[in-house]
Amino acid sequence: MPNAKVLSEKQAIVAELTEKIKGAASGVLVDYKGITVAEDTALRAELRKNDVDYAVVKNTLLRFAANNCGMEALDETLNGTTSLAVSAGDPIAPMRVVNNFAKKFNGAKFTIKAGFMDGKVLSLEEISALAELPSKEALLGQVLGTMLAPITSLAIVLKAIAEKQGGDLEEAVAAEAPAAE
């Protein structure tokens, strides 16, 4: 039986992991066995760039933390080497970065074990599908571009009418307005 000091340290780690999981928009569990130090350094740098918290965790401590969060379904994946990547901001970021690295190694030495989003455990297919989505900024740019397309088209048409009539834009709009009434 562990002494009181060791037990309290482990309880503190479990409490920290529980808070990390509860506060995360999403997370991914990874089996990292066999990657080199250089590959791990590149992975960590990419995760930091995407504001993803990444750490190697003990399966037993993570099991307690996951059970505290109501994600008992993760228990079956907690064996072997395990690392946890979580993000409180962009929910797709940990899945995207980890999935890209898993593809790079063809699943030989870096594989996704499981994932979760908003307290729900995700299947590997769901993780792969979410990982293929563009970033939040790219999606917002696409929506904004879609919203601006009609306005841009109107501006182009008005400019063409103005050029056709040989005047400037205000004159063309003034000339078209009475004709429309």
Cα–Cα distances in angstroms (integers) from residue 142 to residues 137, 139, 146, 147, 169, in the given order: 9, 5, 6, 9, 29
Task: Return all residues near 82 (Cβ < 8 A) that are at least 6 apart.
Answer: 29, 30, 31, 56, 57, 58, 59, 62, 113
pTM of the model: 0.68
Q: How confident is the model at residue 177 (pLDDT cuts 50, 70, 90)?
A: low
Indicate whether 171 pLDDT > 80. Answer: no
What confidence score (pLDDT) does residue 132 get? 80
What are the structural domains of the chain? Answer: 4-133 (3.30.70.1730), 137-180 (no CATH)
pLDDT tens by residue, 136-159: 777 788 888 888 888 888 888 888
Separation of alpha carbons 52 and 9, rounded Å: 25
Can you say how many angstroms the Cα of residue 27 is from the centroid of all Cα atoms in its chain?
Answer: 9
Separation of alpha carbons 136 and 104, rounded Å: 23
Indicate whether 179 pLDDT > 60. Answer: no
